[in-house]
Structure 1
Amino acid sequence: MIDDQALFRSGLGLVIDSQPDLTVVGEAADGSEAVDLVRRTTPDVVLMDVRMPTVDGVTATRSLCAEFGDDGPKVLVLTTFDLDAAVADAIEAGASGFLLKDAQPEFLLGAIRSVAAGSQVVAASATKALFERVRAKRTSPPGAEFDQLTTREREILLRAAEGLSNAEIASAEYLSEATVKTHMSRILTKLQLRDRVQVVVYCYEHGLL
């Protein structure tokens, strides 16, 4: 958990530690401590504040992804401001989603579990506007990596970018859920993406949605 407000960290810690399957393994007050904290505590999920005085959450997220890659923890960004411009940058840097700090405790706990399991979490009120902002920043044709995808993989890529789960994609494409999961794994590998949030960002950036 990385946040410059000690009182917020304390309250959040109490909520998380109240759950039998969740434990706070470490805390830091600034993004500059992120990499060292993860090395020492090896968390599954990092809760990252966006705005911190020395090293912000976007820079810290980028550092974590560069240092640990796919073997690193998932990053769940927390922000006070809906549609904070820095949130889009954090998603592009490798974060697996974001929530507002005033989210209900039950929703936060569910988000932590979902991100740990490999799903993406984006504050519902901001999903469309967030990715429209990503698209507005720059839109360019997909590169050579997109050509590596088969026709079926491109279909599944777009279904995933529209927010469909593996089960929903399986139903829509008349495939088994296991087959969809295999396709998604190959898509992520070929496009060098970490998770479904980055799939959505990729599709918006390259005008596929």
Structure 2
Amino acid sequence: MTAGVRVVLADDQAAVRAGLTLILASAPEIEVVGEAGDGEEAVRLCRDLRPDVAVLDVRMPRLDGISATREIVADGLADVLVLTTFDLDEYVFAALRAGAAGFLLKDTDAAGLVAAVRTVARGEGIIAPAVTRRLITAFARTAPAAPAAARSAVAALTPRERDVLACLGAGLSNQQIAQRLAMAESTTKTHVSRILAKLELRSRVQAAILAQELGLTAPQ
């Protein structure tokens, strides 16, 4: 369990914000420190409050969730969890490219939302389980080929790091990667952090997309 998770919520519908706040308030270690009705306000709150996680709707007035994600992540203000109505919304693709740690569907149940916020706060990231592999594959199919610099950086990874990267591309969680590669989950987390640093990526989702673009196959 992640202790002391501070959250900023952003959705243009007050009723939705109220519902999300009620759900997250049910977890004693999660505190909603700010609510925003649009992307500009969300960025401002993240800059002022420095939460651990920003939960953003995709479609918002003044500044949409994609642009807000890009600003929040670029400035290191918080990790971003995007909420969307559609499981293959093209706006979500752009949000992931902007550096979102992951996304959930708005019909996710209360337990799923709380678990997702905890997961993002741990730095692991999450994609709605029902569409994980489908989303990554679809995104990779529409993305341009990985640049030569990225290919060179991947080539410089250790064999174990390449295995972990391939597992990310298959949509596996840290726990699943640890089981697949027969190593401790803490070791998996270390490998993921090193991979992101070496490849100069913002999130494990971006690493998963790169693995798909490169056609890496996870060990069985």
Fold in common (TM above 0.5): yes
Further displaced range: 135-144 or 48-57: 135-144
Query: Which of these residues, 73, 93, 99, is aligned with residue 104 of structure 2?
Result: 99
In structure 2, C-alpha distance between the alignment counterparts of 1:176 and 1:82, rounded to whole Å: 32
The SS at the match of 1:143 is helix
- Aligned in 2, Cα 1:24/1:148: closer, same or farther, shift over 3 Å? same
Partner of 1:160: 168
Say what the alpha-carbon RMSD is for the aligned residues. Answer: 2.0
Secondary structure at the aligned position of 1:149 is classed as coil
Per-residue deviation, 1:178: 4.4
Partners of 1:73 and 1:135 in 2: CA distance = 25
Query: Structure 2 counterpart of 1:104, which letter?
Result: D
Deviation at 1:174, TM superposition (A): 4.5
Whole-Å Cα distance in 2 between the matches of residues 205 and 46 of structure 1? Answer: 28
The aligned residue for residue 126 of structure 1 is: 131
Structure 2 vs 1, CA of residues 167 and 15 (structure 1 numbering), >3 Å: closer, same or farther?
A: closer
Task: Tell me, in whole angstroms, the C-alpha distance in 2 between the residues paired with 1:2 and 1:65.
Answer: 15
Q: Any gaps of 5 or more consecutive residues in structure 1? A: none
**TM-score where L is the length of structure 1:** 0.88
Structure with the higher strand share, 1 or 2: 2
**Partner Cα separation in structure 1 for residue 183 and residue 19 of structure 2:** 44
Please tell me whether the aligned partners of residues 39 and 62 of structure 2 are also in contact (alpha carbons under 8 angstroms). Answer: yes
8 Å contact 2:174–2:188 — kept in the other structure? yes
Q: How does 1:1-209 map to 2 (within 5 A)?
A: 1-68=9-76, 72-141=77-146, 142-208=150-216
Q: Quote how far apart the aligned CAs of 1:7 are.
A: 1.2
The CA deviation at 1:125 is: 2.3
Identity of aligned residues (%): 47
Shift of 1:49: 0.3
Q: Distance in 1 between matches of 2:111 and 2:186?
A: 30
Whole-Å Cα distance in 1 between the matches of residues 22 and 209 of structure 2? 33
Answer whether contact 2:69 2:98 (CA < 8 A) is retained: yes
Matches of 2:197 and 2:204 in 1, distance apart?
A: 12
Cα distance change, pair 183–11 in 1 and its aligned pair in 2 (3 A) = closer
Measured after TM superposition, the shift of residue 171 of structure 1 is 4.5
How many residue pairs get aligned? The number is: 206
Q: Residues 159, 136 of structure 1: CA spacing in aligned structure 2 closer, same or farther, 3 A cutoff?
A: closer
Equivalent pair of 1:92/1:201 in contact (CA under 8 Å): no
- Corresponding residue of 2:6: none
Structure 2: gaps (5+ residues)? 1-8
Counterpart code for 2:125:
Q
- Aligned partners of 1:187, 1:131: CA distance in 2, in Å? 18
